[in-house]
Chains A and B, each alone.
Chain A
Amino acid sequence: MLRIATLLPDLLGTYGDGGNATVLVARARARGIACEVVEMRRNDAVPTASLYLMGGGEDGPQRLACEVLRASNFGERVRDGAQVFAVCAGLQILGRHFSVEGDDEFEGLGLVDIATRRGTTRSVGDLCAKVDGRLMVGFENHGGVTTLGDGLVAFGDVVRGRGNDGVVDGFRTESLWATYAHGPVLAQNPWLADKILESALGETLEPFTSVADRLYEERCRELSPRSGFEDRRRDPH
């Protein structure tokens, strides 16, 4: 039984982030793997799970979510080997500190050596990154600029959009996956959903095709720098 826990969807879930849990469960069950999702709401203890999901949120709720998690045993669960997939505000919370509501700095969970400050502009638009040789397509909407500590590996190289800093997006450790692509990024990238499932299960999955594959192909065609009008415009022929 694969147990997936959504952390604080009542605070972190602004952009349809709950979609990532829906996608993971559907894709696991399609392979005949028993799977369940539990939600940790504000007043709940951190449930036992092999994969935790964290979404995006507005400034106030983000700060509150961070306080709730810091007071919990979430950190121990991660150190015990659970996997975490975090997007947007979830990404920022995992780090050492972050700035919201102006320039006030807040202490994060400190599970990874990253720091986020408020950027001079907000980044709103399509976000594409090269992740392990494949294109990840998504959408970002945040004001943060995130700096990775020495030796920390980024989640992907930015092809379009800002991600952490216009060069790389998110970060990846043995147990943590994090990207600025908010909302149901796993719905648009079925291969990434399967990669995370495989990591949480410790096994290789059977191939599975669905309409999501068509969506991924379409978004890649639309957003890839190698196709689309931007390149044609540059090409004098």
Chain B
Amino acid sequence: MSSGLSLRDRVAIASVRGVNWVSRALRRGAGTVAGGNIGLKISPHLLVSLARDRTIVLVSGTNGKTTTTALVAAGWGGDVASNTTGANMPAGHVAALARNRTTRVVLETDEAWLGEVVTATDPAVVVLLNLSRDQLDRANEVRRIAERWRAALATLEPSTVVVANANDPLVVWAAGDAANVRWCDVPTPWRADAQSCPRCTLPIEFDDVRWHCSCGFAKPTDLTTSLRGHLIVAGRTLELSLGVPGVFNEANAAMALSALHELGVDLGDALTRVNAVSTVAGRFSVRAWRGRRVRLLLAKNPAGFDALLSTLRADNDDVWIAINARLADGHDPSWLYDVAFETLRGRTVWCLGERRLDLATRLDYADVDVRVVDDLDDLPTSDDPVTLFANYTAFSEWLERSTPC
């Protein structure tokens, strides 16, 4: 592979690896973005060079990117290069590709960067999961992202397969001009951002199975993957028995398996490996903190939060929620009012994080009993298990604060 690299690229790659090695050694971070940025400075087209002659899968969407990326990597089997630390913009991609030079690659890709990364990497498969409101202070409007995806995907050759969620009208619009699409019929309960047609703005009508607009824009009928009770990929019925919870993860697994099928991976083998995944970057893991068993769930936008609330067991788990509003979380916690917290009525919720008062106010107005935790020492001691929902930076803090069980 190195034969295709210029001297400039080789210097850049050495810099990426060197800087990231130092960064990790100094424990200054996960060791990805700093080196990636320096590499891109030295050689602006480094991502193009590093992607050449490799089989690349890109995964994008509002929710499920990290999990689906991990499921594709696991399901593929063997050595797969991937940006597992969550650095999902070009600097992170460059770092992942420089660190592991294997030919098989799966990259989680930030929604706003998908167009650039598609152009740079000439992917074999692009997985489009869903689009909904998330960090609107940064992304502004979710429809603009759908438009940008549409323009970028229209330029793809038929050699790139787009694996797209047929139940999300914004995703269908985005993939609509791509040359080669596999449509996946997977559960997508969040519809609040697709009430008006992305083509003509008229109302979209939904029923249990289909959706359509009077302008003719409608759910695709040529479905190759279907998850309704059981999973069918390319005519083959598969028995999902996932180690990660929730219907939303079944949808992620269905899309991951569809991508793997397009790569020529045997579906039976892939399924066994996908079922075996039980935690992804700490998410869904049960960890120990001050003698308590804490199940960590990353919940950072309304669609994701609603999906995770439905995995809360009806037993006497303590519920802790931690909310921050730093750059990576989005500075505006208004979205808390789009989460169906009313389902927590009858429980007591301990409110944590820098925006715990915003959270406590939201829950109080939903008639949920709240405790504002100004000091971690105020958290109750008991043997009951804890389920902790946390948004991005709060989740990282709790992952660091806790230890494996």
Residues of chain A whose beta carbon lies under 8 Å from any beta carbon of chain B: 10-11, 13-19, 22-23, 26, 42-43, 58-61, 63-64, 122, 124-126, 139, 141, 182-184, 187-188, 210-212, 214-215, 218
Contact = CB atoms under 8 A, between A and B. Distances in A.
24 contacts: A10-B192, A13-B338, A15-B133, A15-B332, A16-B336, A18-B337, A19-B334, A19-B362, A26-B367, A60-B198, A122-B140, A124-B137, A139-B331, A141-B137, A183-B335, A183-B337, A184-B337, A187-B337, A187-B361, A188-B358, A210-B361, A211-B360, A214-B372, A218-B357
Contact of B195 (A10, A16, A183): A10
A119 B366 CA distance: 37
A35 to B, nearest CB: 13
A211 B331 contact: no
Contacts of A17: 337
A15 B370 contact: no
Nearest to B200: A60
B116 interface: no
A140 to B, nearest CB: 9
Contacts of A126: 331
B196 A60 contact: yes
Contacts of B140: 122, 124, 141
B42 interface: no
A59 B365 CA distance: 30
Interface string B194-207: 01101001110000
Contact of A59 (B141, B203, B337): B141
Contacts of A60: 143, 196, 198, 201
A84 to B, nearest CB: 20
Contacts of A16: 334-338
Interface of B: 133, 136-137, 140-143, 192, 195-196, 198, 201-203, 331-332, 334-338, 357-358, 360-362, 364-367, 370, 372
Nearest to A217: B357
Contacts of A218: 357
A60 B136 CA distance: 16
Contacts of A26: 364-365, 367
A139 B338 contact: no
A215 B195 contact: no
Contact of B337 (A10, A19, A61): A19
A125 B331 contact: yes
Contact of B334 (A11, A23, A61, A139): A139
Of the listed residues B137, B142, B334, B360, the one surrounded by the most CB atoms of chain A closer than 10 A to its CB is B334
Of the listed residues A18, A139, A210, the one surrounded by the most CB atoms of chain B closer than 10 A to its CB is A139
B338 A22 contact: no
B360 A215 contact: yes
Given A16-B336, A19-B337, A141-B137, A212 B361 contact: yes
Contacts of A10: 192, 195, 203
Given A60-B143, A210-B364, A15 B334 contact: yes
Contact of A211 (B136, B142, B336, B364): B364
B332 A141 contact: yes
A63 B141 CA distance: 15
Contacts of B133: 14-15
Contacts of B201: 60-61, 63-64
Contacts of B338: 13, 16, 18
A215 to B, nearest CB: 4
Contacts of A23: 365
B137 A61 contact: no
B215 to A, nearest CB: 12
B372 A184 contact: no
Nearest to B196: A61
A16 B365 CA distance: 13
B22 to A, nearest CB: 32
Given A10-B195, A15-B136, A60-B196, A139 B332 contact: yes
B332 A211 contact: no
A139 B138 CA distance: 13
B362 A187 contact: yes
A17 B201 CA distance: 20
Contact of A11 (B196, B337, B364, B367): B196
Contacts of B360: 211, 215
A64 B196 CA distance: 8
Contact of B357 (A124, A139, A211): A211
Contacts of A215: 357-358, 360-361
A187 B360 CA distance: 11
B13 to A, nearest CB: 37
Of the listed residues B136, B140, B142, B367, the one surrounded by the most CB atoms of chain A closer than 10 A to its CB is B136
Contacts of B366: 22
A14 B136 contact: yes
Contacts of A58: 141-143
B361 to A, nearest CB: 5
Nearest to B138: A124
B21 to A, nearest CB: 36
B202 A13 contact: no
Contacts of B198: 60
A15 B196 CA distance: 16
Given A183-B334, A184-B337, A211 B370 contact: yes
B334 A211 contact: no
B357 A141 contact: no
A22 B364 contact: no
Given A125-B137, A211-B360, A184 B334 contact: yes
A183 B372 CA distance: 22
Given A22-B366, A139-B137, A211 B361 contact: yes
B314 to A, nearest CB: 25
Nearest to B341: A22
A120 B334 CA distance: 25
Closest 5 A-B residue pairs measured CB to CB? A183-B334, A19-B337, A16-B337, A60-B201, A16-B334
